[in-house]
Amino acid sequence: SAGGLMFGIINIVGNFGTVFVDQAYWQRAIAAKPSSTVKGFLLGGACWFAIPFTLATTMGLTAIALDVDLTPAQAQMGLVVPAAATALMGEIGAIMVLTMLFMAVTSAGSAELIAVSSLVTYDLYRTYKNPNATGKQLVKVSRITIVAFGLGMGGLAVVLLAMGLSLGFVYLAMGILIGSAVVPIALTILWKRTNKVAATGGAVIGLLISTTTWVLVAASLPEYGGVVDLASLGHNYSMLFANIAGIISGGVIAIVGSLAAKSTFDWKDLKDKITLVDMTEEDAAKLTEDEETLKKAFKFSVRGGGLMTLVLIILWPMPLIASGYVFELGSYGIWVAISVVWVSVASIIIIFLPIIEARKGIAQVLSGKKTEKA
């Protein structure tokens, strides 16, 4: 449907932003082994996709089948899953959803706390405030940042709830607020001619363009009589054009500004100016090996990421949208079966693969043997 296509575009822009503009993802990528990073992200993405896909399919179907009474506002607040689980399994269902939600929030929240604390501690405090900071000082700043940001997240959630902003509204607005930084950030690691002022300007000016577009489109909707409120701002057209304006304008400004600045970055500076502490000859030799590993990982990421993009964005949804196909009972049953099988396989991978990969370390811990020093 047209609505599904618009939601898909909004969803893609917003999730580009949640990955590229999230320090937690960068920390995971940097901390992991080069040979494991690409496979881990591709496999993790495939497993993660099964969660919203299956929850939306099965619990949405359950809510309709059991005639769960929810208002549109309650559905926008994300209450379909807990309401359906409660109707299906009673208190046990509610407890299971609450447990799942608690684990998801604590996992994501802890990652963001660490990510923000590292940015403030190392990129701001140590870089600009106190270059000679001791380990004790860095730990202190990190802890203060974690507490402050944690309280800030909680306070912001309360404010958004008091304003009447639903979870669905915030989700759709993500790309408007952070999408303009996607292309500038990508260019900083992919294009040697990227200029820092142009990249920063693209992110900031792109944000102004996206929010301006958001308000202007909302004000132009005839069904709302030119009134700009949560209803008009949450309309598909308002969200769609603002998301697109943000990600495109940010990229255009960054590219045009970089070309005008005519600056060139030497990638060798990353080797010369960013080195490991107490780097030995053995460590230096490993860097050469890592370059070969990175080249192989890059080729794998292009093939794997390209294939997943082709299937999930083009080959799967586009024919359904273009044909206007309406599911019959049998075909919809196949759709539901695919989602259930997908999430089941993903669950097996998520639970058992880490155990298999860490089996040597687990055996070593259980046996009480110490790690042999090289």
Confidence of residue 281 (pLDDT cuts 50, 70, 90): low
Is 227 inside any structural domain?
yes
**One domain for residues 243 and 191:** yes
Is 245 inside any structural domain?
yes
Q: In whole angstroms, how far apart are CA 140 and each of 43, 117, 136, 293?
A: 36, 10, 6, 37
- Rounded average pLDDT over 147-160: 93
**One domain for residues 87 and 151:** yes
* pLDDT tens digits for range 192-230: 999 999 999 999 999 999 999 999 999 999 999 889 999
Tokens of 316: 């799967």
Is 337 inside any structural domain?
no
- Span between the terminal Cα atoms of the chain, in Å: 61
Confidence of residue 284 (pLDDT cuts 50, 70, 90): low
Could you tell me how many residues make up the chain? 374
Which pLDDT does position 12 carry in this prediction? 92
Given 105, 134, 164, which residue is the final one in a domain? 164
What mean pLDDT is reported for the chain? 88
**One domain for residues 230 and 240:** yes
**One domain for residues 119 and 91:** yes
Give me the number of domains the chain comprises. Answer: 2
The amino acid that residue 357 corresponds to is E
The amino acid that residue 279 corresponds to is M
- Rounded average pLDDT over 156-161: 90
Given 133, 148, 164, which residue is the final one in a domain? 164
Following DSSP, what letter does each residue of 23-87 receive, concatenated? Answer: HHHHHHHHHS-HHHHHHHHHHHHHHHHHHHHHIIIIIHHHHHHTT----HHHHHTT-HHHHHHHH
Is 133 inside any structural domain?
yes
Which pLDDT does position 26 carry in this prediction? 86
Q: How many CA atoms lie within 13 A of 198 on its CB side?
A: 23
Whole-angstrom Cα distance, residue 293 to residue 111? 27
Taken in order 110, 116, 121, 123, the sign of the CA dihedral is positive
**One domain for residues 188 and 175:** yes
Which pLDDT does position 278 carry in this prediction? 47
Whole-angstrom Cα distance, residue 255 to residue 187? 8
Is 332 inside any structural domain?
no
Which pLDDT does position 33 carry in this prediction? 73
**Global confidence as pTM:** 0.82
**One domain for residues 137 and 195:** no
Confidence of residue 289 (pLDDT cuts 50, 70, 90): low
Whole-angstrom Cα distance, residue 155 to residue 344? 37
**Burial class of residue 261 (count of CB atoms within 10 Å of its CB; 0-12, 13-18, 19+):** middle
**One domain for residues 257 and 176:** yes
Confidence of residue 291 (pLDDT cuts 50, 70, 90): confident
Alpha helices in 132-229 (DSSP H): 135-162, 167-178, 182-190, 196-220
Tokens of 372: 């042999």
Which pLDDT does position 164 carry in this prediction? 83
- In percent, the amount of the chain with pLDDT more than 70 equals 93
Taken in order 371, 372, 373, 374, the sign of the CA dihedral is negative
Is 121 inside any structural domain?
yes
* pLDDT tens digits for range 27-57: 887 777 766 788 888 888 899 899 889 988 8
Is 328 inside any structural domain?
no
Instruction: Give the residue numbers spanning the domain of 137.
Output: 79-164
Given 265, 290, 323, which residue is the final one in a domain? 265
**One domain for residues 177 and 258:** yes
Please enumerate in sequence order all residues whose Cβ is within 8 A of that of 178, keeping only pairs 6 or more positions apart, or say none: 14, 17, 18, 21
* pLDDT tens digits for range 231-241: 999 999 999 99
